[in-house]
Structure 1
């Protein structure tokens, strides 16, 4: 089966526009303190999410050994150690929730130029909230 030339051209075009920058030097020069265009807002909201995700991962890394130590202390007392397994279960459920929620919010503007901003802003907001939840858990243990 042979594809028509227009199909091949469309696939080639989509491949070119769908490929993200490969190197940090390809990062757009956008002033996120004063975004002027929708493109700027899209770039800045993506950066905001990436920053929030780094903070979440750092908090996760800090919490895991605390929870593991808690479970070890429970085991030493002959009790059931379930904090680490419960934490992992809750994190997986939270990721599913976050992704579904942000997909839903983005769907309200799907196809529009502001869709990336809506999606990334949702991801950043929910990620920051989860980071605070993990901090509270760490303090509780």
Structure 2
């Protein structure tokens, strides 16, 4: 379940998407492809969002949140792709009790709850200003990018 503050960020992002803000998916893909294994969050995370913010309407608070959300959507597609690939690899070789795939699912669900709580915290820590929506949206983007890379890297160690 998405926290109340995260839902506010998503509503703001929806308003920005109405302004036709978009990110270059190839920029995000290049970041994903060039990220070294087990290196954490690469500096290129956010590049597509930064480019988006140069579009008309992209530099307002709503625009910035919309650009961050647009990049997050790309990272989320990568995350889902990497989760499915990791799960397929685990399922192919799994003979444990309980299966590793169940542990992976449990971990993924826990990670989603952690991400939502962490980004709600980022939102709440910035009370009193519109920066709170930017902080929460940035948190969602960064954590989603990081998890997609973790899932990719996990397959090398299975």
TM-score (norm 2): 0.63
Q: Which residue of structure 2 aligns with residue 49 of structure 1? A: 72
- How many pairs were matched up? 115
Distance 1:112 1:126 in 2: 23
Are the structure 2 counterparts of residues 123 and 20 from structure 1 closer, same or farther at C-alpha, using a change threshold of 3 Å? Answer: closer
**Higher gyration radius (CA):** 1
Are 2:99 and 1:82 aligned?
yes
Are the structure 2 counterparts of residues 87 and 38 from structure 1 closer, same or farther at C-alpha, using a change threshold of 3 Å? Answer: same
Do 2:75 and 2:145's aligned partners in 1 also have CA atoms closer than 8 Å? yes
1:132 CA drift (Å): 1.3
Q: Which moved more, 1:31-40 or 1:53-62?
A: 31-40
Are the structure 2 counterparts of residues 81 and 19 from structure 1 closer, same or farther at C-alpha, using a change threshold of 3 Å? Answer: closer
Q: Which residue of structure 1 aligns with residue 120 of structure 2? A: 103
Q: CA RMSD in A?
A: 2.5
Q: Aligned with 1:36: secondary structure?
A: coil
Distance 1:81 1:104 in 2: 34
Distance 2:122 2:12 in 1: 24
Q: Aligned with 1:98: secondary structure?
A: helix
Distance 1:21 1:39 in 2: 9
Distance 2:60 2:105 in 1: 40
